[in-house]
Amino acid sequence: MNAWAEISAMLMSSVMAPVLMIYLDDEQQALRLLVAATTSTGAALLVNWIKGPEERQHLAEFYRRVRPIGFWGPVARAGGIEDDGGARRLWRAMGAMVTCSLSLFCLLVGFGTWLVGGALPVWFTSRSLWVGGLLFVGLALCPVWYRLGYGTDGPDPTSR
């Protein structure tokens, strides 16, 4: 994928959205989504095929400036840059996102059930255990996602 392919996919989506809103009614949401995804993906693949991949020098310069997390090891090595564990940082960030989402979900459902008196799941019989358990899990996960997202496990590569 290259930058021009990404731009073409966004432009195709911007063009197709109003067209699909006009010609397909609200009962055909799935078809709208299918057509929009297919046309934007097709545009991206076509432009990527025409333009070709980005040059290694541009990718290495981008990596040197931004230090994105993820699987950039080959680009880093091609640019003569030591790999800073971007894949490991990506997995940590994804773990932080999942645990933070679960924590927020538990806290929202727990407080919502407590304040509004919402219905319990049919398989759970005690309101106080349900609310208390959700609030406990939500609060217990806070240090986990905080440490995953903001903790350090080595030198910070962005501080260079």
Domain ranges of the chain: 3-78, 86-159
pLDDT at 160 over 70: no
**Per-residue pLDDT, 153:** 57
135 vs 129: CA distance, rounded Å: 10
Distance of CA 72 to the CA centre of its chain: 17
How far is the C-alpha of 24 from the C-alpha of 22, rounded, in Å?
6
Distance between CA atoms of residues 4 and 18, nearest Å = 22
Model confidence at 154: pLDDT above 60 = no
* Mean pLDDT score across all residues of the chain: 88
- Read off the pLDDT of residues 112-127 as tens digits, 9 standing for 90 and up: 999 998 888 888 888 8
147 class by beta-carbon count within 10 Å (0-12 exposed, 13-18 middle, 19+ buried): middle
